[in-house]
Structure 1
Amino acid sequence: LIKEYLPGVSILFPYRLLKTEDPLPHSWDVTSDTIAAWVAKQTSALFIKATDVDGIFGEEKVIKNILASDFSEHFDSCIDPALPEFLQKNKMECIIINGKFPERVIQAVYGRPVHCTTVKGNI
């Protein structure tokens, strides 16, 4: 399900695995965010969502840390509606980072301080 084409480059084809395992609700609330979280859980990987914003905003500034339980249906954010519940249920965290700055992603991978939001689910 993960095929390596060039040294260090892997491509995941999750369709067959998701169809076989059927781990997530069948809903438009579940999109690539929750699917990526599920893959991270299955592989024990750090879950970083690289997007086009610096993180989740509150009062016009990036929130550094937020609990997944603090999300509500009316909370406007860059993550899919099913992700907070998934993070809580699986005791995971998600680092939301601006992918337009690759150095930030690298810093996050190495556990260094970086401009982002960390969403914590019952950790």
Structure 2
Amino acid sequence: MDSKINSICKVEFARLGEISDYQESPNGTVLVTAAWQVLPIARPPRLSVSESLTKGGRVFESNFSAQLNYKVMNKDLLIVRISFSDGGQPLIIGNRDLPVRFQESHELAAKTLTFSHSSWHYPYREADI
């Protein structure tokens, strides 16, 4: 597991229809070509990835939370790319079979975006081109 998972500097998302190429590799990386949009984060977001054993096997649950500068209101099926300030390879959460769906809540002083994603593998790292 990553020890620096919360040194997040940029979060991007792409709608499934805007993904032109998605290739998973057996070494735990993925090559994605997509029209990425930057998420307007106001404060450093939080990401946790937990592992559990179920009757169906091992499951990784990714939980993300961020305060936004303005509303995104995106109800599409997505994949998410999370970049880190240490310069490591970005994490890719979601794919065509198991996409991400954002949930937003808006209050007078805060706009919060969250998502949870379950998969049989730890989030892939983006492959170097």
Question: How does the TM-score come out when normalised to structure 1?
Answer: 0.29
More strand by share: 2
Greater percentage in helix: 1
TM-score (structure 2 length as normaliser): 0.28
